[in-house]
């Protein structure tokens, strides 16, 4: 029994009606990369363009007023979804930009302070000094690794990382050792996009608090799949992308603690983020506007708000339970195929729906090709988490990810396609 | 299944029993090329044939999917102990075949014509071209004749992420 009515859900997703590769049913198992979009989201976006399209926060006319209302109502709705206040929610292009927004706050605060420039009160939190350390984990998506490598490269700070256990978890000993008195921020993922591991946030937060470090949580693979509440998690920053949770492409969210956002210098600058401007210099608006330079993606915000409504109506507990059921079925069936090895926890506890595996004797790219030929859409490669592949000594993996519109038939299709790949390559 | 057009028997043979795999100890140049989207990697070495300085010897080591591995094995068959001109012509022909602007010519590509099916799968084209781009890069670095500089500029674009 599923916690969701998948047949009814599938009817809301027009793309699931199409066929692929010679009239095969589309078995979409790549929602970890990007999810499909229901009518409700597409309609909300279209409705914005058809009824009140205009530049948010700029015009003096009725359309601009309505567009601004729609944009700010979307912000309030989306913030409430993660238990946050609208004033603390910044819209970005995607999670990658949101992480860069924070890493650049460190860079910009450090550069400005070195030149004796004025900075907002509280900005000491973001000024890096010689010997300071940034901590990530070995399971990060490149989006939560490269910005920190770059920051360290530019400032001389040192990047450290928490090691992984053989079964795909953060090493508890390493958490205690790596986070230390010089740590300024710990940036880590809630759920690994490659391994499926759901990390124990509380342990990391507790250790970070002991050393007075900030905590940033990459929630790209958690907000779409399980209940997430920022107050309960106790982190300082949390970000995710709209497109992985039924929302449109081109919008992401950064939630941050009010006192921290207020203390951060801007990242991208230009129109709409200022207070006063003269030829000699400018002052900046308070958050979230300070971080939203340029005409914002209002239609996408409205679409994402509709996605939030859709998920809320299903219930995030039910979404999680449904994915749990599918993940368990996939783990069991895939593990039973000789020569198939799961990369990541095989135990369903504290585990999300990203299931990565390798097949002896067949490269993941070739596995993916046979699956594609059978209508099963998965991702192959290093999934923007190359160091994870190195850690587990595989060149790449094949990855299936499940979402609300998948059912046990999809799991069966995956399993049969893997068997077919083995036959095709004689492995 | 359209798969048979991609994975012709000859490709699978090269994949399972690659020709010439293993690095020679002596070389004039060495390159390492990767395909960043899927992690295919090749290290390729070129040396000048001591008996005939017009001919280039090839050795390589690689890991990756069947297409990239078979393609490297075919490259070895076609280009080992050949002149830069012969090799460059083959690389150009291979690229054109992938872009579907030229019919496969067995005289130029040998077993490489079996890679023609790859052109239908844009995501796999880089796999097929990886070793050929590596060869061209290495051959140029080894000091082989370079008739036309602009062509090199173009080809490194296709090479992606040295
Ligand atoms: C865990 C994780 N972090 C970050 C990202 C980056 O998301 P985006 O590419 O939408 O910015 C992704 C998505 O690929 C992800 O899975």
Nearest C-alpha neighbor of A268 from the set A52, A57, A108: A108
What's the pLDDT tens digit per position in A318-330? Answer: 999 999 999 999 9
Chain A residue with CA closest to B40: the answer is A395
Residue-level pLDDT at A43: 98
Q: Judge whether residue A172 has pLDDT over 60.
A: yes
Across the interface, do B39 and A396 touch by the CB < 8 Å criterion? yes
Instruction: Please state the φ and ψ torsions of residue B99, each to the nearest 5 degrees.
Output: -85, 0
Which of A356, A366, A379, A390 best probes binding to B when mutated, by most B CB atoms within 10 angstroms? A366
Across the interface, do B66 and A425 touch by the CB < 8 Å criterion? yes
Chain A residue with CA closest to B4: the answer is A424
Ligand 1 centroid – CA A59 distance (Å): 34
Chain A residues lying within 8 Å of B12, measured CB to CB: 425
Whole-prediction pTM: 0.93
- Predicted interface score ipTM higher than 0.90: no
Residue-level pLDDT at B146: 53
- The Cα of A298 is separated from the nearest Cα of chain B by a number of Å equal to 32
SS3 B133: helix
Residue written as tokens 């297409």? B67
Instruction: Please state the φ and ψ torsions of residue A324, each to the nearest 5 degrees.
Output: -60, -45
Ligand 1 centroid – CA A243 distance (Å): 10
Chain B residues lying within 8 Å of A22, measured CB to CB: 2
pLDDT-above-90 percentage for chain A: 96
> Ligand 1, from A250, A384, A386: best to mutate by most atoms within 8 Å of Cβ?
A384
Ligand 1 centroid – CA B149 distance (Å): 40
Interface residues of B toward A, Cβ cutoff 8 Å, are 1-3, 6-7, 12, 37-41, 63-67, 69, 121, 124, 127
Residue A426 pLDDT level (bands cut at 50, 70, 90)? confident
Average model confidence (pLDDT) across chain A:
97
Residue-level pLDDT at B161: 33
CA quadruple B147, B149, B151, B153: dihedral positive or negative? positive
Laid out side by side, the sheet with A237-241 consists of A89-92, A252-256, A237-241, A214-218, A183-189, A133-137, A158-162
Across the interface, do B3 and A373 touch by the CB < 8 Å criterion? yes
Contact assessment for residue A408 and residue A52, using Cβ atoms and an 8 Å cutoff: no
Across the interface, do B38 and A386 touch by the CB < 8 Å criterion? no
Residues of chain B with pLDDT under 70: 1, 145-162
- The Cα of A366 is separated from the nearest Cα of chain B by a number of Å equal to 6
* Residue of the CA atom closest to atom 14 of ligand 1: A33
- The Cα of B3 is separated from the nearest Cα of chain A by a number of Å equal to 7
Confirm or reject: Cβ of A95 under 6 Å from ligand 1: yes
Residue-level pLDDT at A302: 98
**Can A384 be counted among the known catalytic residues?**
yes
What's the pLDDT tens digit per position in A182-236? Answer: 999 999 999 999 999 999 999 999 999 999 999 999 999 999 999 999 999 999 9
CA quadruple A44, A47, A49, A55: dihedral positive or negative? negative
Ligand 1 centroid – CA A45 distance (Å): 23
Q: Judge whether residue A372 has pLDDT over 90.
A: yes
Confirm or reject: Cβ of A94 under 6 Å from ligand 1: yes
Q: Judge whether residue A128 has pLDDT over 60.
A: yes
Chain B residues lying within 8 Å of A359, measured CB to CB: none
Residue-level pLDDT at A1: 63
Confirm or reject: Cβ of A241 under 6 Å from ligand 1: yes
Nearest C-alpha neighbor of A144 from the set A219, A75, A214: A219
Residue-level pLDDT at B1: 52
Any bridge partners for residue A190, and if so which? none
């Amino acid at each position: 029994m599923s916690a969701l009515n998948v047949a009814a859900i599938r009817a809301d997703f027009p793309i699931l009606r199409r066929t692929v590769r010679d009239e095969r049913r589309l078995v979409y198992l790549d929602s970890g990369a990007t999810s499909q979009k229901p009518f409700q989201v597409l309609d909300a976006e279209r409705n914005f363009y058809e009824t009140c399209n205009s530049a948010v926060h700029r015009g003096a006319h009725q359309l601009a007023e309505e567009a601004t209302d729609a944009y700010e109502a979307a912000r309030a709705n989306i913030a409430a979804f993660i238990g946050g206040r609208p004033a603390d929610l910044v819209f970005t292009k995607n999670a990658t930009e949101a992480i860069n927004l924070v890493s650049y706050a460190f860079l910009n605060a450090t550069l400005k302070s070195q030149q004796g420039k004025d900075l907002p009160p509280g900005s000491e939190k973001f000024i890096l000094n010689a010997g300071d350390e940034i901590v990530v984990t070995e399971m990060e998506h490149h989006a939560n690794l490269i910005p920190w490598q770059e920051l360290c490269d530019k400032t001389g700070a040192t990047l450290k990382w928490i090691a992984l256990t053989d079964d795909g978890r953060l090493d508890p000993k390493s958490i205690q050792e790596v986070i230390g008195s010089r740590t300024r921020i710990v940036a880590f993922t809630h759920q690994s996009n490659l391994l499926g591991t759901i990390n124990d946030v509380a342990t990391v937060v507790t250790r970070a608090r002991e050393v007075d470090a900030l905590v940033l949580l990459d929630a790209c693979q958690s907000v779409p799949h399980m209940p997430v509440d920022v107050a309960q998690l106790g982190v300082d920053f949390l970000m995710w992308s709209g497109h992985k949770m039924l929302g449109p492409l081109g919008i992401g969210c950064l939630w941050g603690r009010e006192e921290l956002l207020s203390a951060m210098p801007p990242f991208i600058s230009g129109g709409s983020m200022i207070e006063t401007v003269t030829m000699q210099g400018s002052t900046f608006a308070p958050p979230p506007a300070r971080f939203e330079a340029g005409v914002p993606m209002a239609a996408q915000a409205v679409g994402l708000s509709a996605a939030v409504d859709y998920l809320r109506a299903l219930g995030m507990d039910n979404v999680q339970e449904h994915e749990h059921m599918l993940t368990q079925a996939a783990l069991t069936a895939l593990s039973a195929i000789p020569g198939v090895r799961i990369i990541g926890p095989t135990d369903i506890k504290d585990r999300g729906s990203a299931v990565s595996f390798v097949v002896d004797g067949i490269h993941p790219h070739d596995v993916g090709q046979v699956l594609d030929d059978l209508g099963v859409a998965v991702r192959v490669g290093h999934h923007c988490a190359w160091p994870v592949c190195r850690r587990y000594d595989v060149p790449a993996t094949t990855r299936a990810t499940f979402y609300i519109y998948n059912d046990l038939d999809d799991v069966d299709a995956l399993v049969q396609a893997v068997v077919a790949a083995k036959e095709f390559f004689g492995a | 299944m359209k798969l048979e057009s991609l994975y012709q028997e000859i490709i699978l043979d090269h994949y399972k029993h690659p020709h010439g795999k293993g690095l020679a100890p002596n070389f004039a140049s060495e390159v390492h090329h990767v395909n960043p989207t899927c992690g295919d990697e090749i290290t390729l070495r070129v040396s000048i044939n001591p008996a005939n300085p017009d001919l280039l010897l090839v050795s390589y080591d690689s890991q990756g999917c069947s297409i990239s591995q078979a393609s490297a094995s075919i490259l070895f068959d076609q280009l080992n102990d050949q002149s830069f001109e012969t090799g460059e012509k083959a690389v150009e022909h291979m690229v054109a075949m992938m872009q579907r602007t030229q019919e496969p010519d067995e005289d130029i590509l040998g077993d490489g014509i079996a890679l023609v099916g790859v052109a239908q799968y844009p995501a796999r084209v880089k796999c097929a071209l990886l070793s050929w781009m590596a060869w061209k890069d290495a051959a140029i670095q080894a000091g082989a004749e370079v008739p036309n500089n602009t062509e090199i500029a173009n080809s490194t674009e296709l090479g992606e992420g040295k």
